[in-house]
């Protein structure tokens, strides 16, 4: 799923999905209720990896955070830049983002980890981006198609890189613009003292 041509082709219609574009006020409010409390107080420095068209990056920026978005697709980045000038967007590989180490309070990715060829290596790089005390915030799932990563597997993987990991199921239909029957969750990982 790291072929930029595939994601370039998706860019024009990507925001049509309620949870992608966050265009519906109720869906947007539901995501704000879930994501903003998972972050440190503003202004935190956030890396949004696999940012797509920048909908969540914009949500974070509007809450007062300093956001850097990274996506593999030039067309996704173009769409993101058209939404907001308050976010620094970079074209690059989310698995190995072109961002400096030890400079972010939060690394955020939504529906990205499951699609990477080496998720463990990606998590190591993502955690390298974090300042001491930084948070890893992931939205992932195991979908009815069989694709994705289960919460248990993602938690086990995250524990290789973070000392404390919490998982919250995201089954509220307001988040997705419809009822869901598969597993979707928020994972927050921190490196706390032992």
Q: Could you give all domains of the chain from N- to C-terminal order, each with its CATH number? A: 4-190 (3.40.50.150)
Q: How far apart are CA 92 and CA 90, in angstroms?
A: 6
Eight-state DSSP code of residue 113: G
As a whole number of Å, the CA-based R_g of the chain is 15
The 3-class secondary structure across 9-67, one letter per residue, is: HHCCCHHHCHHHHCCCHHHHHHHHHHHHHHCCCCCCEEEEECCCCCHHHHHHHHCCCEE
SS3 label, residue 148: strand
Q: How far apart are CA 105 and CA 116, in angstroms?
A: 23
For 96, 132, 172, the CA distances from 110, given in Å and listed in that order, are: 16, 22, 16
pTM for the full predicted model: 0.94
Q: Are 106 and 98 in contact (CB under 8 A)?
A: no
- Identify the helix (H) or strand (E) that includes residue 75: helix 74-83
| pLDDT tens series, the chain, 194 aa | 457 788 788 888 888 888 999 999 999 999 999 999 999 999 999 999 999 999 999 999 999 999 999 999 999 999 999 998 889 999 999 999 999 999 999 999 999 999 999 999 999 999 999 999 999 999 999 999 999 999 999 999 999 999 999 999 999 999 999 999 999 999 999 985 44
HSE at residue 65, side-chain half, CA atoms within 13 A, is: 27
Q: How far apart are CA 21 and CA 27, in angstroms?
A: 9
């Amino acid at each position: 799923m790291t072929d930029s041509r595939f994601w370039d082709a998706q860019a024009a219609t990507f925001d049509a999905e309620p949870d992608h574009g966050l265009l519906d006020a109720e869906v947007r409010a539901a995501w704000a209720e879930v994501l903003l409390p998972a972050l440190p107080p503003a202004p935190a420095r956030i890396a949004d990896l696999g940012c797509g068209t920048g909908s969540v990056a914009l949500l974070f920026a509007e809450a007062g955070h300093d956001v850097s978005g990274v996506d593999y697709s030039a067309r996704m980045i173009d769409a993101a830049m058209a939404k907001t000038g308050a976010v620094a967007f970079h074209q690059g590989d989310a698995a190995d983002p072109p961002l400096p180490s030890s400079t972010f309070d939060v690394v955020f990715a939504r529906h990205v980890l499951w699609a990477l060829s080496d998720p463990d290596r990606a998590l190591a790089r993502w955690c390298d981006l974090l300042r001491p005390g930084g948070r890893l915030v992931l939205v992932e799932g195991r979908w009815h198609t069989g694709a994705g990563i289960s919460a248990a597997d993602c938690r086990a993987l995250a524990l290789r890189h973070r000392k404390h990991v919490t998982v919250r199921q995201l089954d509220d239909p307001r988040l997705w613009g419809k009822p869901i029957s598969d597993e979707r969750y928020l994972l927050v990982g921190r490196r706390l003292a032992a």
